[in-house]
Amino acid sequence: MIPAYDDFEWTTPARLTLLARNEFPWRHYLRTVVQFSGPNCSGTVLPVAPGTGEETPPFGPLHVIAVVQPEAEPDNGENIARMAVLDRELRDVGLQALPAVGASLDGRHREDSRAVFGLDDGQARALGRRFGQVAVFAWRGTDWSLLACAADRQTHRGWLWDPAPDC
């Protein structure tokens, strides 16, 4: 049985605001690569300097949303259950999503995520805030953006696509 949203404690918006204003988590998010598993193509997006990189995301515009709470360990059963809650909520409102994994450059830290289609930045931030996230990624056109969920902070960069052999 899938647990309900209210079965979990989520990081409060006030705490998310404080974390978004802190350089510690933000600089780590800026060094995150995201691996996507699409039905016909998989690969990794790599952040690069603004104004450089590619122009058309292979899956179209999307937002990347995770459920691991700040300062929590990503590899535990609770996060699997939290992801099931996000998946159910996305299905219930008719939003499509692909599996994604945000990872540190060295691969030591990995968080299962969802690449969600059909949201604008405000909706993605609200969903991230609901699920206790400091920030979400937005991938649109030439921009790979990091958007704080409970603050006005954002960073826009370019991106490169590193396709897997199945593309």
The domain segmentation of the chain, as residue ranges, is: 5-161
What is the helix (H) or strand (E) element at residue 30, kind and residue range? helix 23-30
Tokens matching residue 159: 């991106």
Strand, helix or coil for residue 64? strand
* Residue 26 to residue 72: CA distance in whole angstroms: 16
- The Cα 94–Cα 101 span in angstroms is 22
Under a CB-based contact definition with an 8 Å cutoff, are residues 49 and 64 in contact?
no
- Which residue ranges of the chain lie beneath pLDDT 50? none
pLDDT at 74: 74
pTM: 0.95
| 3-state class percentages of the chain: helix first, strand second, coil last, to nearest 5 | 25, 35, 40
Chain centroid to CA 93: how far?
A: 19
Structure tokens belonging to residue 56: 């058309």
Q: What's the pLDDT tens digit per position in 16-61?
A: 999 999 999 999 999 999 999 988 889 999 999 999 999 999 999 9
